[in-house]
Amino acid sequence: MADKELLNLVQAKAKAWLNSNIDSESKKDIENLIQNNESELIESFYKDLEFGTGGLRGIMGVGTNRMNIYTVGIATQGLSNYLKQQFANKKSIKVAIAYDSRNNSRLFAEKTASVFSANGIKVFLFEDLRPTPELSFAIRHFNCQSGIVVTASHNPKEYNGYKVYWEDGGQIISPHDKNIITEVQKITDISDIQFDDSLKNVEIIGEKIDKKYINELSKLSLNPQVIKNQKDLKIVYTPIHGTGVELVPRALQVYGFENITIVEEQKIPDGNFPTVKSPNPEEPAALELALKKAKEIDADIVMATDPDGDRVGIAVKNNNNEFILLNGNQAAALLINYLISQWKDKGKLKGKEYIVKTIVTSELLKDIADKYNVECYDVLTGFKYIADIIKQKEGKKKFIGGGEESYGYLAGEFVRDKDAVMSCALLAETAAWAKNNGKTLYQELIDIYVEFGFYKEKLISIVKKGKSGAEEIQKMMDNFRNKPPQTINNSNVMLSHDFEKQKTFDQISHLRYEINLPKSNVLQFILKDGSKISIRPSGTEPKIKFYFGVYDKLEKREDFEKVNKLLDNKIDNIIKSLGI
């Protein structure tokens, strides 16, 4: 589309909003964009904010491509219409709503509740901010048909979002995601949104559901005596101004941990996230204050949760007594190894247990599961696919745990999304178990590498903002898809997986195989030397992600640094070979 055509389209959409019944402040903002900021006008209106990996996410502001009460209202009206179609036989349709500490989260949650209420749908609205996993739990507890959590997870402060859940407590997947989008697209005028400012169908929930959630979480503990032995384990925790501030310390205390230090500077919920550039526990800068505190008190473990309490970053001490950050694959390996080994020791393995990981997560998790004859399922990136496996296997097989490289983990079946509250409790228990055996978590991780092989991973994210950025990302994917590399870092590409075409190409036999997973814009290359490279655009952020996984044997603990350096060099050479 030519620039002039695009501008005409954008101006028409902006004028349609000006002529609607939106509030006067929003009208002023639109007029200001029309008169003074053409580029921002285009970014705000050039498209409608779309559902990504489970809902809306975008920069807050006025316009069809921004998070505001009207885009939230349109999404909720479309969802309401869809729920009434899907559950027409139910006397009462119910939803649960939670929200995080971001700016406007409470406002968006109340507007969402207002639209549901106006459509005759019963709403359970949390009284105050709560972590995302508790929303998943509440959906199942109240037998809801859907749920919403208002959050942009770990994105920068200018973002907010709206994640949609289905009756199983997991985020929406096909066909519901596409069907909801269809219903949302039918809402062509803001006047089509129904609001109920009296909130007549809304029930406020809080402490009672907190207690039930924490009670279920406490049942996951496998070694209460070990925790009793190590109750003084020094834990430093930061909620990074988010929702974990109440429930993470509470869960740790219920497990039996007594020596918990919360980072004071990051204790107060604040949507401006004043102490960090980005409230993302995947980024080292977000843990700086926690690491400072940990050094002061000589802590055993550091934990940091993101604003909506579903991801957790971990730091532990190495053999030089220096704190190092674990990546998501390492934390997942520690957790899964602990869970499965303890299930084995407690006689809980009956032959029908399984774990789940995503296709970009370390193969180390599968190796651990294989040792204990526990089945391992691979799913697409996104915890909603892990939740879907749990739903499919419910009553047939037993879910031990699962995880993804992006710092999300889960155990048990009462929550159907990644759960940082649960993960903090279980990772602390893992640390206590290691300490009880005379080891640090770092030493436990190295021992896992000695037993199963040294898997090393790295993630590179390339940010490309706005319309032009989206086009650049698509071009990069097209180039890799249409001209896949034959060799990478002087190692032949053995298998090329194209999850969008649902095809695997064996470059040795030249045979093609079906991929039995839903379509997804992901490419994956498996090399002769065992390396794995995955490429995918983010479904929630303006970036393209490159995942690198390499492998080598580790004969003994003492060789760790040497092999670690070799694997780092290998990853660097792969990156150079791909020209990124």
Per-residue pLDDT of 299-356, as tens digits, reads 999 999 999 999 999 999 999 999 999 999 999 999 999 999 999 999 999 999 999 9
* DSSP string for residues in 456-510: EEEEEEEE--HHHHHHHHHHHHHHHHHS--SEETTEEEEEEEETTTTEEEETTT-
Q: Rounded to an integer, what distance in angstroms lies between the CA atom of residue 255 and that of residue 501?
A: 46
- Which own/partner contact pairs does 274-277 have at CB distance under 8 Å and 24+ positions apart? 274/241, 275/240, 275/241, 276/240, 276/241, 277/156
552 beta partners: 454
Q: Rounded to an integer, what distance in angstroms lies between the CA atom of residue 263 and that of residue 243?
A: 14
Neighbour count for residue 148 (Cβ, 10 Å): 29
pLDDT in the model for residue 468: 86
Burial class (CB in 10 A: 0-12, 13-18, 19+), 438: exposed
Q: Rounded to an integer, what distance in angstroms lies between the CA atom of residue 563 and that of residue 483?
A: 33
Q: How many helices (H) and strands (E) does the chain have?
A: 18, 23
Please list, in sequence order, all residues whose beta carbon lies within 8 angstroms of the beta carbon of residue 92, skipping any fewer than 6 positions away.
Answer: 122
Please name which of 150, 148, 165, 141 lies closest in space to residue 215, comparing C-alpha atoms.
141
72 beta partners: none
User: What is the tens place of the pLDDT at every residue in 517-561?
Assistant: 999 999 999 999 999 999 999 866 789 999 999 999 999 999 999
Neighbour count for residue 186 (Cβ, 10 Å): 13
Q: Which two tokens stand for residue 197?
A: 């400012």
- Give the global pTM: 0.94
Q: Rounded to an integer, what distance in angstroms lies between the CA atom of residue 300 and that of residue 432?
A: 9
Q: Rounded to an integer, what distance in angstroms lies between the CA atom of residue 413 and that of residue 434?
A: 25
Q: What are phi and psi of 147, to 5 degrees?
A: -160, 160
Residue 317, helix vs strand vs coil: strand
Q: Is the bond into 307 cis (omega within 30 degrees of 0)?
A: no
Residues marked as catalytic: 153
In contact, 501 and 518? CB cutoff 8 Å: no
In angstroms and rounded to an integer, the radius of gyration of the C-alpha atoms of the chain is: 24
Please name which of 362, 360, 561, 579 lies closest in space to residue 489, comparing C-alpha atoms.
579
Q: Which two tokens stand for residue 237?
A: 């925790």
Burial class (CB in 10 A: 0-12, 13-18, 19+), 264: exposed
Residue 288, helix vs strand vs coil: helix
pLDDT in the model for residue 1: 45
User: What is the tens place of the pLDDT at every residue in 59-77?
Assistant: 999 999 999 999 999 999 9
Q: Which two tokens stand for residue 434?
A: 């290691």
Burial class (CB in 10 A: 0-12, 13-18, 19+), 315: buried
Residue 253, helix vs strand vs coil: helix
Please list, in sequence order, all residues whose beta carbon lies within 8 angstroms of the beta carbon of residue 309, skipping any fewer than 6 positions away.
Answer: 100, 130, 131, 132, 133, 134, 239, 242, 243, 244, 247, 248, 419, 420, 421
Element (H, E) at 315: strand 312-317
pLDDT in the model for residue 434: 98
404 beta partners: 408
Amino acid 186 reads: K
Residue ranges of E strands in 327-411: 353-358, 375-379, 398-404, 408-411
Tokens 């501030």 found at: 245
What DSSP designation does 171 have? B
Which residues of the chain fall short of a pLDDT of 70? 1-2, 51-53, 539-540
